[in-house]
C-alpha cells in the first residue's frame, strides 16, 4: 500500500485526492489547516489541524508510514510550505509542490506588482475606495490606511473589532464577472488589491477591473522552497504520487 499525504484544501488538492482515492493500492490522506469554517472536503481520509511545525510533521510522516507527500496548499501559505520542505528532509519522504499557475497581465490591464501586503497598503492613494481580496488576516495591514475605504471580501469573518474604514463582505467563490461588475458599481470602487493566487475561481474580478479601467495592485506570490520539485499539472502530480 502506497501512502500519500496531500497538504491543503485548494481546488487542486481536492482534484488530486479525487484522482488518487480510487486507485488500487493507494491510501490518500488530506490535511486541512482548519482555518476555514465548513470547508469543501476532499475524497479519502481527512485530518484537520496543524502538526506542530516541521518536527511535528516529520514525526507524523514517520508514524503513518507516508511514502510521498504533496504540498498543494495555497500559493501564499509560505509558512506551511517551508515546514513541509523541512519535514520531508527530516523524515526522508519525497515532496512535490503542486502550484496553480499565476495570473498574467493582458491587454487593457493596469497592474502594479508589489512584493508584499505592506507595500500594497503603502502605494494606495489617499481617498481611494479599494476592493480588498487578500484574505481576512490581512485586514489589519490595510486598515492602518485611515484615508482609504475598503470593501474587504472574506470567506469567514475577521477577528473583531473591524475598523471603521473597512466594510466586510462575507462570500465564497467561484465568482462571476457580472457579480464583480455589480460590486464595483454599487460600492464605487476605484482600485483592486489582490494576491497572485492564480486559478479560475476568483479571476472574474480581474476581468471586471479591466472593463472598469480600475488599477490593480497585485501582490507577488512567495517562491517555492528551494530544492522542492514543482508542477502545475494535477495529472502529473497524481502520477508522481503513485511512483
Q: What is the pLDDT of residues 55-99, one digit of tens each?
A: 999 999 999 999 999 999 999 999 999 999 999 999 999 999 999
Q: How many CB atoms lie within 10 A of CB 56?
A: 13
Over 80: is that where the pLDDT of 34 sits?
A: no
β-strand 68-71 against 229-231: which pairing, if any? unpaired
Over 90: is that where the pLDDT of 37 sits?
A: no
Q: In sequence order, what DSSP letters do the residues of 142-194 get, joined into one string?
A: HHT-TTSEEEEEESSPPSSPPPTTEEEEE--S---HHHHHHHHHHTT--EEEE
Residue 81 dihedral angles phi and psi, to the nearest 5°: -65, -40
- Cα–Cα distance between 170 and 103 in angstroms, integer? 24
Question: pTM for the whole thing?
Answer: 0.89
* Length of the chain counted residue by residue: 243
Q: What are the chain's domains?
A: 2-101+222-241 (3.40.50.720), 111-219 (3.40.50.720)
Quick one: cell of 207?
476581468
Residue 103 DSSP class: P
- What 3-state DSSP class applies to 221? coil
Instruction: Kindly report the average pLDDT of the chain as a whole number.
Output: 95
Q: Tell me, what's the pLDDT at 237?
A: 98
Over 90: is that where the pLDDT of 153 sits?
A: yes
Region 151-179: mean pLDDT is 94
Q: Tell me, what's the pLDDT at 243?
A: 84
Q: Which pLDDT band holds residue 140 (cuts at 50, 70, 90)?
A: very high
Residue % of the chain over a pLDDT of 90: 91
- Cα–Cα distance between 233 and 228 in angstroms, integer? 15
Q: Tell me, what's the pLDDT at 200?
A: 87
CB 80 within 8 A of CB 58: no
Amino acid at each position: 500500500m502506497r501512502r500519500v499525504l496531500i497538504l491543503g484544501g485548494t481546488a487542486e488538492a481536492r482534484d488530486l485526492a479525487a484522482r488518487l482515492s480510487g486507485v488500487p493500492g493507494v491510501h490518500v490522506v488530506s490535511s486541512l489547516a482548519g482555518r476555514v469554517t465548513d470547508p469543501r472536503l476532499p475524497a479519502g481520509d481527512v485530518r484537520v489541524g496543524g502538526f506542530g511545525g516541521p518536527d511535528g510533521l516529520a514525526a507524523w510522516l514517520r508514524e503513518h508510514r507516508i511514502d510521498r507527500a504533496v504540498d498543494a496548499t495555497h500559493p501564499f501559505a509560505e509558512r506551511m510550505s517551508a515546514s513541509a520542505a523541512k519535514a520531508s528532509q527530516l523524515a526522508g519522504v519525497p515532496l512535490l509542490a503542486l502550484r496553480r499557475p499565476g495570473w498574467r497581465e493582458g491587454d487593457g490591464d493596469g497592474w502594479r506588482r508589489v512584493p508584499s501586503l505592506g507595500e500594497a497598503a503603502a502605494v494606495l492613494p489617499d481617498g481611494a475606495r479599494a476592493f480588498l481580496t487578500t484574505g481576512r488576516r490581512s485586514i489589519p495591514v490595510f486598515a492602518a490606511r485611515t484615508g482609504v475605504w475598503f470593501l474587504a471580501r472574506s470567506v469567514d469573518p475577521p477577528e473583531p473589532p473591524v475598523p471603521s474604514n473597512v466594510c466586510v463582505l462575507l462570500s465564497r467563490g467561484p465568482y462571476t464577472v457580472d457579480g464583480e461588475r455589480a460590486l464595483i458599481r454599487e460600492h464605487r470602487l476605484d482600485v483592486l488589491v489582490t494576491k497572485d493566487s492564480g486559478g479560475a475561481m476568483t479571476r472574474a474580478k480581474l476581468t471586471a477591473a479591466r472593463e472598469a479601467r480600475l488599477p490593480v495592485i497585485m501582490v507577488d506570490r512567495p517562491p517555492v522552497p528551494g530544492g522542492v520539485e514543482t508542477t502545475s499539472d494535477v495529472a502529473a502530480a497524481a502520477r508522481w504520487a503513485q511512483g
